[in-house]
Structure 1
């Protein structure tokens, strides 16, 4: 997977009639900022998912340890 540093450090050869380097660099800066934001959001969401899974496991374990109460037919 590419990192923001990979994008930042990527170099391209300069050719005649090529793209405006300043425009390309500005666009790459935007890509880097967005990519960093997405990576941070992914980390946050992964941590939240782990917390939720841990909570589900806790409640499942708690439910297994509780005694089962049976209701008799006709009693109420």
Structure 2
């Protein structure tokens, strides 16, 4: 029984690894181009995250040895 389950799980996982080029469904077109765009983006262009979705970190992390500033909003709960 365990061997059959192992074989079934292996087959299911092997099917998940299939990779290929993205194409629109048959009979369907790509989405319309964004407002102001000069051309319709390709599937590869649509998969690239915009710079604003992954911004760079601009602040310094507080080191564990540094003393944290007081938090004026850290209040006890009301009774």
- The normalised TM-score by structure 1 is 0.29
Higher helix share: 1
- The normalised TM-score by structure 2 is 0.28
Report which of the two structures shows the higher radius of gyration computed on alpha carbons: 1
Taking CA–CA contacts closer than 8 Å with sequence separation of 6 or more, which of the two structures ends up with the larger relative contact order? 1
